[in-house]
């Protein structure tokens, strides 16, 4: 690749599940990648084989403190994303979303970089409309146990759009729906990793509520493709844009698929639904299809097989 096409790309949260996949894709595309992580939920194991790549650099850093580097693009992925992890230290979770956004936006403004925010479907809360479109403002409990993550990400979106309006900063906001795949944390408490680990160990598979609440599961390779396409759009495309798989499954259906694919003897057990847990979550991706020419291509069974193969090593 010619020197003029090689970009210097910063990925915050780069040692996490999504970040480690994104770092690989960017290196494969011929860019210099600066991975920043404080290793609260990220793991050096996720990026171990990248450390010898001369175009990859790792910095241990917490985005709640300013960072002074020279880059062309910033993917801001830093934030614990599963309820177990973001509720462990809720004040720090909010600080990571809000102070982290302020610091990364300040960096982008100084170096004139395009910056992408990894926002979340959690900004929609427990939605009254289905499926969720980008125009929907959401239904979030601002004082509930999930608010540190939901409201932190909502405030980050506010900051991104204010920097865009006030400073003309080129921004991109992606609202990421449930994503799964290799390098998920095995103990992150999310349904895909939970179910696979329980099935592989022959333990009862825990369903909260009646198992009829729905989720839409996007395989990580599809999601990363969407993020990269969004980053490469013209300046006037800011988002927010939903990125996720519009095919909806009940939690019980997911559990049954996992049992089948692992040939497990696990049985289903039911527990009460956690506070503010959304009943339905499904993206409308019309905007992503029209603007990015993007839609997921990997079927749930194929993605689950790859993910099960990864978790089988634990």
Supply the residues annotated as catalytic. Answer: 149
* Angle of the 191-200 helix axis to the 251-262 helix axis, nearest 10: 30
Cα–Cα distance measured from residue 36 to residue 33, given in angstroms and rounded to the nearest whole number:
10
Three-class secondary structure of residue 120 per DSSP: strand
**Residue 103 to residues 64, 73, 100, 238, Cα–Cα distance (Å):** 7, 14, 5, 19
Residue listed under structure tokens 């146990």: 145
Cα–Cα distance measured from residue 105 to residue 118, given in angstroms and rounded to the nearest whole number:
13
Q: What residues contact 10, with CB distance under 8 A and at least 6 apart?
A: 34, 36, 69, 71, 73, 74, 75, 107, 113
Contact 244, 295 (CB under 8 A): no
What's the distance, CA 174 to chain centroid?
9
Three-class secondary structure of residue 298 per DSSP: coil
């Amino acid at each position: 690749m010619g020197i003029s096409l090689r970009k210097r790309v910063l990925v915050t949260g780069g040692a996490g599940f999504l970040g480690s996949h994104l770092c690989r894709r960017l290196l494969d595309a011929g860019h210099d990648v600066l991975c920043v992580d404080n290793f609260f939920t990220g793991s050096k194991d996720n990026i171990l084989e990248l450390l010898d790549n001369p175009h990859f650099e790792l910095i241990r850093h917490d985005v709640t403190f300013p960072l002074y580097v020279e880059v062309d693009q910033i993917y801001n992925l830093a934030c614990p994303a599963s309820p177990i992890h973001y509720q462990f230290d809720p004040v720090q979770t909010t600080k990571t979303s809000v102070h982290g956004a302020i610091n990364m936006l300040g960096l982008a403004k100084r170096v004139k970089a395009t910056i992408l925010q990894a926002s979340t479907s959690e900004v929609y809360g427990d939605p009254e409309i289905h499926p969720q479109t980008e125009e929907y403002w959401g239904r979030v409990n601002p004082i509930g146990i999930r608010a540190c993550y939901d409201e932190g990400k909502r405030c980050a979106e506010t900051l991104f759009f204010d920097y865009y309006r006030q400073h003309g900063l080129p921004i991109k906001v992606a609202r990421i729906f449930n994503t799964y795949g290799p390098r998920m944390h095995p103990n992150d408490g999310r349904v895909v990793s939970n179910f696979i680990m329980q099935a592989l160990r022959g333990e009862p598979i825990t369903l909260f509520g009646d198992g009829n609440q729905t989720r839409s599961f996007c395989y990580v390779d599809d999601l990363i493709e969407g993020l990269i396409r969004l980053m490469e759009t013209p300046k006037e495309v800011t988002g927010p844009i939903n990125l996720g798989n519009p095919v909806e499954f009940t939690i019980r259906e997911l559990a049954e698929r996992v049992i089948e694919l692992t040939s497990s003897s696990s049985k289903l057990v039911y527990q009460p639904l956690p506070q503010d847990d959304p009943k339905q979550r499904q993206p409308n991706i019309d905007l992503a299809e029209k603007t990015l020419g993007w839609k997921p291509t990997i079927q749930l069974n194929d993605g689950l097989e790859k993910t099960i193969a990864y978790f089988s090593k634990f």
